[in-house]
Structure 1
């Protein structure tokens, strides 16, 4: 393998439409910074990821007879260094949120141009996160939050008070305060209002 090939990011493409896989592979490899080492329609996707352990997986959620959201989590368990970018026709906020919860580092619509898709690929492969907010792509270097931290963050965004959050999650108000402090520290924010705005801007509200 040449030095140039060693510098390229390795990618696995997962989509149950062969023309889309072919178009992505062609465009990504023409860019010169990526090498598609495997592709799948869904059924054998996890085996291919385990075989190649790529730097990045680009995948759809709507896979024939296959749970795309569950696959994200399984891919992340193969190797924590693998980053997942969802390329989907499902644009509803709930899918973006659930994909992020499962471990995806980015989410972009199939309606995007190839230039926009390539931009998202380069951001995610470089260690950033890329998720849509409204009609624009928001990119951030975001710390990973635990499921409980995400749950508390959503309640904060919904305007719930500490006692209400504690009751809903079956924890004490003091524990809720602890989670709030962790969130403020991790996200480098100052107030509860900042947390609520952060959640809204990242599709977590």
Structure 2
């Protein structure tokens, strides 16, 4: 397992190391000790899965406000997605900036996104499955969103007219959101 820091503080890309033979492979998805050695110490409380049938579908950008803000550990368990995240942490020097990681089931990579980020993804293949762990329980009343195509954020999505939910089409712009009051250092 290889853990690398990304450009936005607190974000890490994790590349898994499957061991295989003529039967297939075995792969460790999570190791508390390896994560702790990389400065990532979380207790995962929930695991979710989302299947998307059509490529060029955008899901997000979503987040939870404190006290239910979530750290997410995300992977494509089937297919390929462009995973995108935007820093919404109050006082962060990278507030409003975005980054992305292409998650590919065949490459066995994941991304860890800390609390205080909006998160979404664009499917790059049909029948994509995204699984993710979170370290806080979902609270519908604390759910928020950021418009997927906010021009101020300027995400370079790989598709100009995605399949997207009506709800995600009308999420607030960055200028309409209050930063997430969550310690980010």
Q: TM-score range by the shorter chain?
A: under 0.3
As a proportion of its length, which structure holds more helix?
1
As a proportion of its length, which structure holds more strand?
2
Q: How high is the TM-score relative to the length of structure 2?
A: 0.27
Whose relative contact order is higher, 1 or 2, with alpha carbons under 8 Å and at least 6 apart? 2
Q: How high is the TM-score relative to the length of structure 1?
A: 0.25
